Amino acid sequence: MRTSVSRRGLYARRSTTLGALLALCAGLFLVTGPAAQAAPPTPPSASVARSYLGALTVRAEGSSDGYSRDRFPHWSGQGGNCNTREVVLKRDGTGVVQDGGCAAVSGRWYSPYDGATWYAASDVDIDHVVPLAEAWRSGASSWTTSRRQAFANDLSIAQLIAVTDNVNQSKGDKDPAEWMPPRSSYHCVYARMWVWVKYDYGLSVDSAEKSRLSSVLSGC
């Protein structure tokens, strides 16, 4: 009888130990598993974006005369050794490690424009959703330098996003009538982001741009 009880006790202890080990493993998995993908601030819904689009001034795109990226001072300091680019890399990446100068030395970045994943910050560009040259032609040419600087470094709206470098370069300064992200499932989000930025800064749209944005938003 004592043997039977002893075995039951042994089995119970083994079961308890096994349960503890499983719980520990589960806890370790939760700690070390990949974090949720970060992203820019969430843009307004499609219905709100449509109302914003309807409120924008429609006019022919202005001239690029006088435009220079230097007119939009960007990658401003954001505290400590960090500039805007490094803040966005940290925000939009997963497991990002930065050195003492705030440069991202490792991490993982998913580009929603094309669905690619990158493991080196050098493969990632920070896209201005509404390009600086596009903003210039849409009203920013009349702004003060400080306002253009605020626009080029704005982290409070969906104006900055980490994406594949050559995809960003293929976009250049094109508006949605001329370019949309290669990944079509992201078009709705992109249109909502674009309209939000233009509405927030009082920038105009041209007729082809508005038509394309309206078409995308109506299908969201």
Collapse the DSSP code of 131 into the 3-class scheme (helix H, G, I; strand E, B; otherwise coil) and give the result: coil
Q: What's the predicted TM-score (pTM) here? A: 0.82
pLDDT at 24 over 70: no
pLDDT at 14 over 90: no
Strand bridging mode 124-128 / 93-98: unpaired
User: 123-182, pLDDT tens digit by residue?
Assistant: 999 999 999 999 999 999 999 999 999 999 999 999 999 999 999 999 999 999 999 999
- 86, 121 Cβ separation under 8 angstroms: no
For 138, the token pair is 């849409």
Range in 4-8, 52-56, 57-61, 67-71 with the lowest mean pLDDT: 4-8
User: 72-120, pLDDT tens digit by residue?
Assistant: 999 999 988 999 999 999 999 999 999 999 999 999 999 999 999 999 9
Report how far apart, in Å, the C-alpha atoms of 201 and of each of 40, 45, 86, 173, 193 are: 17, 18, 24, 17, 13
pLDDT at 47 over 80: yes
pLDDT at 19 over 60: no
Q: Where are the domains of the chain?
A: 1-33, 37-218
Output the pLDDT for position 169: 97
Helix-strand-coil split of the chain, %, nearest 5: 50, 15, 35
